[in-house]
Structure 1
């Protein structure tokens, strides 16, 4: 089964949207907010999954589960 997990990170071309197991970037956005919004659409259309948002330093600063994804927490929030 294909992974619906995506990463958002800063590159010289803007904020990259890349599937976890993909070899190439899916799209670029001018801002991190635009990239996150587009990634939510992509992952939602795929049936849910995880989004990892990386800061400018490359470290993961936030993770979000889109509905029907694999949320490790059993409570909402």
Structure 2
């Protein structure tokens, strides 16, 4: 189970934003998705949570987990 808030990288009118799960406001806005992903990845690692990267259409296109995943995975 993840310990901290999952971090989402989402399209923003000024570029790309990092938003903690269930947060109304964004944490930071960057011009490129690559910059936003770097920040979100570090935050997710620090919080042992998940990183969810959304495409321009809003759908999740990639996710990485930095939590304590069970091994072997269930199901």
Which stretches of structure 1, 4 residues or more, deviate above 2 A after TM superposition? 70-75
Per chain length, whose mean CA-contact separation is higher, i.e. which structure has more relative contact order (CA < 8 Å, sep 6+)?
A: 2
Task: Assess if the C-alpha contact under 8 Å between 1:3 and 1:20 holds in 2.
Answer: no
TM-score normalized by the length of structure 1: 0.78
- 1:56 counterpart SS class: coil
Unaligned runs of 5+ in 1: none
- The 3-state SS of whatever aligns with 2:41 is helix
Aligned residues: 71
Unaligned runs of 5+ in 2: none
